[in-house]
Amino acid sequence: MKTALVKLSDLRRGARCIIDSFTDDVMKQKLLEMGCLPGETITVDRFAPFGCPMAINVSGSTLSIRVDEAQSVIVKPLA
């Protein structure tokens, strides 16, 4: 079964997903260097109060990322 692709910023707290692709070249480079590689699993750890930024767990570390930055990350949600 094929799951639809969504933006990382659309996920809720606790959701898990797999990184698919990026829509912003420069942001992509930054994220890749920090270990957000296509195929890696992301867990949405929490959102900061007022909804931004969000904390995500990816390949063993916790990253803080603004919602508008997370919009450029396309992910495949896991059930």
> Which residues lie near another protein (CB under 8 A)?
25-35, 37-38, 45-46, 48-53, 55, 59-66, 69
* CA angle (68 as vertex; 10, 6 as ends), nearest 5: 30
Q: Which is nearer to another protein, 4 or 50 (CB)?
A: 50
Distances (CA, A) of 3 to 18, 37, 44, 46, 48: 11, 19, 18, 23, 28
Q: Which is nearer to another protein, 10 or 24 (CB)?
A: 24
Q: Which is nearer to another protein, 3 or 59 (CB)?
A: 59
